[in-house]
Each structure stands twice: as C-alpha cells, then as structure tokens.
A and B are shown apart, each in its own frame.
Chain A
Amino acid sequence: MKNKIILFLTILVCFMLQSTLIGSIAIASITPNLPLILCVSMGLLRGRKSGMWVGFFSGLLIDLFYGSVFGFYALIYMYAGFFSGYAHRVCYDDDIKVPMLLVGVMDFLYSVAVYGLQFLLRGRMGFQLYFRRIILPEVLYSVFLTFFVYRIFFFINNRLKKSSLKKESESYWILK
C-alpha cells in the first residue's frame, strides 16, 4: 500500500513539473516528456503491470486537465509503460543505456500515435515537417533528460523494493 502511494505521488509530481516548471528548460519551445520517461522507467524497473498502471495514471492526469478526448492519453501512456515492461526481465536495469534507448523508441512511437490519431485524421499531411520540428527534438531532449532523471527513479524503486522485501521475508539476504 505504501509503495502504491509513493508511486502515485511520483506520478503527481512528474505531471505538475511537466505542466509548470519544465517550460523554463524548454529549448526552442520544445519540452521533454517527463511522464513518458517515468512510465518507461517504471516499466523497465518493475515490470509490465507496474509500467501499465503508472502510464495509465500519468495519461489520466493529462486527460483530466488538458485532453480534448478523455481517455486518449491514458491509453497511449499505458501502452508505452506496458511495452517497456517487456524489457524488465531481459535487460539489466542499472545500465543507463537501456532506459535511454527505450525512452527514445517509446517517445517516437508516442509522437507518431499523437500525430496519426489527432493530426493526420484532420488532414494535416506534412509528416516530415512535424517530424523535424516536434518529434525529433522531443525524442532527443527526452533521451537527454532520461540520463539524469532515471537515477532518481532508480533510487525511488530501490527504496520501494527494500521496504517490501523486509516485510515479506527477512531471510532473503541470508539465502543469497
């Protein structure tokens, strides 16, 4: 329970940072996508289910305040978290290159989804321009930010793991 509350607070803080202070580190009015970094990191660190829930709630917050269609961002972020959860068993989570690569791929897919479903369907065809002007800078900037932010998420997750391990079995460390 305590874990869930801490996770939810992290989501809330990320959302609020993203909608207020992140504007001051924007380069050419492009901001990195902090909620996406969070749900990709949590997917990688904690598995598919966790990634999915974190993504769902991050997206839900955005939907509540800014979305034109309720449920749209929740869906996209949820899938981003879920798919990065596949890397949980395959990759080591203490290697910074893995989350950076994952964030790059997921942010790209996220942007393409937003473009495809909200712009292309309204007849905005110039994908190249959107790609150059928004998608590529956002992906690069998000990957760059992951380098710094991932350590914080890693630390939070370590604390969560420790507290739950202590509760479940004290003998864990002896067995190892």
Chain B
Amino acid sequence: MKNNKKFRIKLKSKHLLAIMTFFCLAAIVATFASGRGPTELQNAASRVVIPFQKSMTSMGAFLRNIRDNFRDKQALLMENEELKVQLESLISENNKLIQDQQELARLEALYDLQQEYNNLPTVAARIISKDPGNWYDTFIINKGERDGIRVDNNVIAGRGLVGIVTQTGPTWATVRAIIDDASHISAMTVSTNDFLTVEGDLELIDEGKLYFEQLYDQDNRVTVGERVVTSSISEKYVEGLFIGYISDIVQDTNNLTKAGNIVTPIDFRHLRDVLVITRNKQDYLDPDAAAAYVSFVAEPEP
C-alpha cells in the first residue's frame, strides 16, 4: 500500500478540471463526428442499471396502486364531472365528422389503413424509466434487441403514435416521444392528403399539443378537427399512424403555408404500456434488408 502512494501523481484540482473538460469536449466532438455514443459502455452500464430501474418502477406502481385505493370520493366525482364534459365535446366533434360526407369516405380509407395497422408486427413493452431532466421527453422501455427491437422502430400506444426508438441495448431501448422538443415528423392530413411537418414543442407540452408547419393549403380545405397521420413520404415513420387532430390553424405571413397546433390523443404523463412496431419504414424500401430481418426473426441465433 505504501509503495503505491509514492508513485501516485498529485494533480491540482484546477488542472484536473482542465483535463476532464478536454475529455468531455472530445467526447462531444466525437459524438457529432460519428453520430452515435459509446455502445459498449452503454451496454455495460445498462447491465447494472436496467434491472434496478425495472424493480424500482414496479415498486413505484405498487405504491401508486395503494395510494389510488385511498383516493377520496370527492376526487373521483370531480374526475367523473370532467370526463362528462370531455365526452360532451367528443360527441360534438364526432357529429361534425359524420356530417362531412367526404370525410366519411376518407375515414373508410383510413379504416383500410387501420387494418394494415393491425397487420404490423408489434411487441408490447412497459416504460421503466424517464428522462431525468425537465427539458426533454425520452423514456426507456423494458424490451430490446433480444425481442427484435431496432433503432428507428416506431412506437404506438392504443390510440396513436407515441415516438421512435433512438437507442437499443439487449434488454432495453430508449424512445423519444413525439412531444419531445427535438422531434420532427413528416405527416399528412387524412381528408386532403396535404403534407405537413409536425414538431414537438416544449412550450406546448402542458396542453398535450404538438406544433405543425409547412402546410400548403391554398383552397382552405383543411379545417379544425382534421385528422393527421404519418405521411407516405416519411423516411422513418410507417405510413398512416395516427398523430392527432388539428386544433387551430394560422396562415403564415408568407401567405403560402399554414402553421398551427395538433392535439394528441395520448396522455404522455400517465403512459405506462406501449407497442413497438418491429418493422421499419426502411424495410419496405429495401426488401433485402427486410428479408434478412424476417429470417432473423424466424431463426434467432442461439
């Protein structure tokens, strides 16, 4: 022990800080240059952290269940009242949809899409942890490469699109939600097939809304309540996944395009379970890769 101490290099804390700063900056530059993080290190860390996160989350769910059981009647009544109001507005919105004949025809088309939606191979997963800061909206799910999940897989929940897989490990995957400030989606309207870009916006997260722009609609055919789905020209998102309803539209100052907000049907704050679509959009475009993937699923390596 004493010999060790002789050879230890004593650094001033200032110099140590400079060295570590250099290290961090180098890591940042390396990420920008290569476009990905240190995968081996991530896998090693995940082996330690992920099991604990899983058990902690289930413990949290257990405690929450207990608390919910003790919730007082008043709160439930209030919630009931709120839901009634919500139901009211949903009914009126539904009526509007029914009245619109063209809309109905398009909805039938959407129904076909929905059928396709059902044919997509999906894996059910549970959210085990959330991004530790308040600035972003990413989360980790408890399924990973071993279950056939890959980067760029789309993630949906019962009623619509939730996000996209950005990183994977053997037993976990990181998902970026569509409400995340860094998320961009190429989308289209259902009734008119106009393309638009949907972006997450931190300023709108509280209202459960997304921001959209670049909607080219000269004849003013797109109205409030229009359904928006992922577009056919998107590179990363499978076509026809439901994103939300348009809640307001504003003409841009250039008089060519429109922008506005979209309401998503998903309650991101209380999201627990999601479905991951294990087929990427790129698989449709590149049949070879898709074939390789299908054989991988059929005969997973021992």
Which residues from chain A sit less than 8 Å from chain B, CB to CB? Answer: 12, 15-24, 28-31, 33-35, 47-49, 52, 56, 61-72, 74-75, 78-79, 82, 85, 114-115, 118-119, 122, 124, 126, 129-130, 133-134, 138
Contact = CB atoms under 8 A, between A and B. Distances in A.
Given A21-B60, A65-B45, A52 B129 contact: no
A23 B61 CA distance: 11
Contacts of A15: 49, 132
Nearest to B50: A65
Interface of A is mostly: helix
B46 interface: yes
Given A64-B45, A65-B140, A20 B57 contact: yes
Contacts of A118: 135
Interface stretch (B25-33, B97-105, B238-246, B282-290): B25-33
B134 interface: yes
Nearest to A23: B130
26 contacts: A19-B130, A19-B132, A20-B60, A20-B130, A21-B60, A29-B134, A29-B206, A29-B269, A33-B133, A48-B13, A49-B13, A49-B16, A52-B20, A61-B45, A63-B37, A65-B129, A66-B136, A66-B138, A69-B32, A72-B24, A78-B24, A82-B17, A126-B203, A133-B206, A134-B134, A138-B134
B202 A130 contact: yes
B32 A68 contact: no
B52 interface: yes
B64 A74 contact: no
Contacts of B131: 19, 66
A49 B64 CA distance: 40
B94 interface: no
B224 interface: no
B226 interface: no
Contacts of A56: 20, 24
B123 interface: no
Interface of B: 13, 16-17, 20-21, 23-28, 30-32, 37-38, 41-42, 45-46, 48-49, 52-53, 56-57, 59-60, 63-64, 128-136, 138, 140, 174, 181-182, 202-203, 205-206, 269
A69 B31 contact: yes
Given A21-B56, A70-B28, 9 more contacts: A17-B56, A21-B60, A24-B63, A30-B134, A33-B132, A48-B13, A52-B16, A69-B32, A79-B17
B49 A16 contact: yes
Contacts of B136: 66, 68
A90 B191 CA distance: 68
Given A66-B131, A70-B30, A118-B135, A124 B202 contact: yes
The listed residue with most B CB atoms (<10 A of its CB), out of A17, A49, A67, A82, is: A67
Contacts of B52: 16
B28 A72 contact: yes
Given A20-B56, A24-B60, A78 B17 contact: yes
A133 to B, nearest CB: 7
A146 B11 CA distance: 31
Nearest to A34: B132
B49 A12 contact: yes
Nearest to B17: A82
Contact of A71 (B25, B205, B206): B25
A78 B20 contact: yes
Contacts of A16: 49, 52-53, 56, 129
Nearest to B27: A71
B80 to A, nearest CB: 23
Nearest to A73: B133
Contacts of A20: 53, 56-57, 60, 128-130
A130 to B, nearest CB: 7
B283 to A, nearest CB: 25
A133 B16 CA distance: 36
B60 A75 contact: no
A67 B37 contact: yes
Nearest to A82: B17
Contact of B203 (A71, A114, A133): A133
A23 B59 CA distance: 13
B186 to A, nearest CB: 19
B84 to A, nearest CB: 24
A145 B12 CA distance: 32
A75 B28 contact: yes
